[in-house]
Structure 1
């Protein structure tokens, strides 16, 4: 069989897959249409660009996303290795300098002898080749039509949003304080405290601010994990106090009391020059973002280096069309990975890219596909996106999809989650030593 694989898309999934195959001696043709053709969300021409948050989520074994990262480390994930290298302070989360991260991944892939970069838009899928479609949720129109013809199924979609970023030097340090929630960390977050009066005034301006209208012919669908802050606010005046503005776990050192509301900012680059507003994904017009978010104490004179944006994300009906090897049931030479599968978030994109690559390599070598059970986080997400269900919506890693522990039920959630994680790691090491790096 031809030992050449075509990968479409150099995002997180495509970049990880290209590296894994190339490292195994497979020649990879990696198609990336940027910079010739850009998208509404991307800002650079680098591979593995993080277009929304700079956080890859929790990085401890009491967190399902943290477990998935540890599993990826065991499998020798390039992107998790680079993320560890360029991490920035974020408490118990793995956040990165997004510029250095994507630049490093781009450098590695461009200099790999088994990877051929093709900066063109692939409009038609070659049916005589093994192809991995990792074109992401912003797949081009022509390729989308080609995929729809293959899957014989309408695309599903939701709307995703990104948060604004401000410069550190423009934040009023006299009004904010550094602290991690529940002191889990070294005080990496900047906290902007609000009194009840300040919160109410901010809330009224937020819910009445002018938004960018969605196209009339599209039904509005918002993914819960990336719900715009103004939409959360629209559910009730106190909703934000249990969401992105929750004061729980924080004590203002100036008053030794809990504030009424708190906006948190997280470091976005290695040098600490830029911070993003945590949980402030938004679809407000840019001028309105400047006006309303400048009402936050400490951000009155903030310099916005990037405003929040909102874009349509597309995914296939994976449970209906994909196998557990991540290839199409009808056309088994066509594989999918990343957010286009309905696996949500950065880490799931990396995981599906890695698993698709391993299974493509196994196919070329005549080896049985690698199918992980749902005792692991990676196995659980692949089961979720390939097991038939009536109402399929994107989902990221969580302990609810991982198989329960057998025997006595552990009531303490932290202890239970840690034991689930320990079981997953032991399962991988014992059963798949040939894959562990």
Structure 2
């Protein structure tokens, strides 16, 4: 008997991952993406899996929360992480990608899969029949958001997110800026613009006075910022030194051209604050201002950010923007399988459900896609072990206190405690990692979860391949 296609609505990271996992299980799938028929305030292309904020997936080390999540997804055959690895650009200890090549490759990969149909259209209502995965993200259209509100009987919750400006590399004064990674870890991958105290205080003063883009009335009434992604001007207003203990912290950054700053006698040469820029593309032509997400007016961004030494003549190819992110109250609505409690054939993933960050969206997409495929094949949906970062994160968003629910990024604080207390943080995180990866491997073997058979580079295959035997 033919299997009816599963419908995935939204072509972001979660939707792309879900679509791939469904097709890899041998189930036909239709991915609905409204671009280019309709654009959004945050997107700049019509490719799937476009990275609208930073080009970084976070720290790579597996004793960091994001790095552990990367490794779990690699072991489960994530197409997003596979392509991120393939299109990686230097970023010190972080997994950063050439965002243009990354999203274009993923679009092409999905388009050539024989079980995937990429349908360019806006979806106004949740399908009433069949299996559906909602991955429309924080910028869900008004019509679909209204239909989801009718279905759940709840209003959306919201917070504000922002993106950083991108600068042309040739416009950066590299007589001032220097290449280095913090504490010389790994390859020197960041351009660093140093400030002395006088330069920093002038920049801080002008940033605090700079004019912001006006919010709409309904946005101003509910404006809340996500603490992990504060606009730089909001951070500045919290105090003179707030930025120096955040994205502008100078510790561990040394300009080798001026001597050995590890020498304690060279303290006078150490910068008072440092603005870092991370490579955006493979050729190093574009650079992202790290931590400079902002809602300033574009003219003000150019004026104030050019006060930074090394950026006096900066050419901006993208200015910073801020937008309202909406999400559902997942603890009241979803099971740990990412199925809606009132309709098991409807699943959701990504920032829509209250996970925060690229890799977290990918993790939700993996589970929602996997479980959608299992439902289509007559199999029981899965729950991930809570000792894994993926499992702990999805357990949190489905079991947290609904009254105070807010988006959650991957972090070690949501994992179950270890059998014995370990004081050393690095060692403790290593123990979390070892336990989680061992439990994930056991779980994957038990449920016959194997990495994808269909090569990411194979132009076509003639027969569906079932992942579950």
**Bigger mean CA offset, 300-309 vs 243-252:** 243-252
1:401-412 map, 5 Å: 401-407=414-420, 409-412=421-424
**1:139 aligned partner:** 140
Could you tell me how far 1:372 is from its partner in structure 2? 1.4
1:58-137 map, 5 Å: 58-137=59-138
Query: Stretches of 4+ moved more than 6 A in 1?
Result: none
**1:423 aligned partner:** 435
**1:214 aligned partner:** 215
**Distance of 1:436 and 1:18 partners within structure 2:** 17
**1:399 aligned partner:** 412
**Distance of 1:288 and 1:124 partners within structure 2:** 40
Q: 2:285 aligns with which of 273, 281, 284?
A: 273
**1:54 aligned partner:** 55
C-alpha RMSD of matched pairs (Å): 1.1
Q: Quick check: 1:374–1:401 contact (8 Å CA) kept in 2?
A: no
1:192-341 map, 5 Å: 192-218=193-219, 219-253=222-256, 254=258, 256=261, 257-341=269-353
**Distance of 1:239 and 1:273 partners within structure 2:** 30
Could you tell me how far 1:2 is from its partner in structure 2? 4.6
Could you tell me how far 1:252 is from its partner in structure 2? 3.1
**Distance of 1:396 and 1:65 partners within structure 2:** 9
Q: Quick check: 2:385–2:440 contact (8 Å CA) kept in 1?
A: no
**Distance of 1:384 and 1:57 partners within structure 2:** 20
**Distance of 1:19 and 1:268 partners within structure 2:** 26
Q: Quick check: 2:131–2:376 contact (8 Å CA) kept in 1?
A: no
Q: Quick check: 1:162–1:309 contact (8 Å CA) kept in 2?
A: yes
**Distance of 1:388 and 1:282 partners within structure 2:** 30
**2:165 aligned partner:** 164
Q: 1:377 aligns with which of 380, 389, 402?
A: 389
3-state SS of the aligned residue for 1:332?
strand
Q: Quick check: 2:42–2:52 contact (8 Å CA) kept in 1?
A: yes
TM-score, normalised with respect to structure 1: 0.98
**Distance of 1:123 and 1:217 partners within structure 2:** 22
3-state SS of the aligned residue for 1:263?
strand
Could you tell me how far 1:382 is from its partner in structure 2? 0.4
User: Is residue 435 of structure 1 aligned with residue 449 of structure 2?
Assistant: yes
**Distance of 2:49 and 2:301 partners within structure 1:** 27
Could you tell me how far 1:365 is from its partner in structure 2? 2.3
Could you tell me how far 1:57 is from its partner in structure 2? 0.4
How many residues end up aligned between the 2 structures?
436
Per-residue displacement from partner, 1:179-222 (whole Å, max 9, x unpaired)?
Answer: 11111121101110000000000001101001101112222111
Q: 1:346 aligns with which of 352, 358, 365?
A: 358
3-state SS of the aligned residue for 2:277?
strand
Q: Quick check: 1:54–1:95 contact (8 Å CA) kept in 2?
A: yes
Label 1:126 to 1:113 Cα distance change in 2 as closer, same or farther (>3 A): same
Q: Quick check: 1:91–1:187 contact (8 Å CA) kept in 2?
A: yes
User: Is residue 45 of structure 1 aligned with residue 58 of structure 2?
Assistant: no
**Bigger mean CA offset, 177-186 vs 198-207:** 177-186
**Distance of 2:24 and 2:377 partners within structure 1:** 14
3-state SS of the aligned residue for 2:6?
strand
**Distance of 2:375 and 2:55 partners within structure 1:** 34
**Distance of 2:186 and 2:275 partners within structure 1:** 18
**Distance of 1:414 and 1:316 partners within structure 2:** 34
Could you tell me how far 1:432 is from its partner in structure 2? 1.9
**2:266 aligned partner:** none
Unaligned runs of 5+ residues in structure 1 are none
**Distance of 2:189 and 2:33 partners within structure 1:** 35
Could you tell me how far 1:47 is from its partner in structure 2? 0.4
Q: Quick check: 2:350–2:361 contact (8 Å CA) kept in 1?
A: yes
Could you tell me how far 1:156 is from its partner in structure 2? 0.3
**Distance of 1:19 and 1:369 partners within structure 2:** 17
Could you tell me how far 1:368 is from its partner in structure 2? 2.3
Per-residue displacement from partner, 1:91-110 (whole Å, max 9, x unpaired)?
Answer: 11100000000000000011
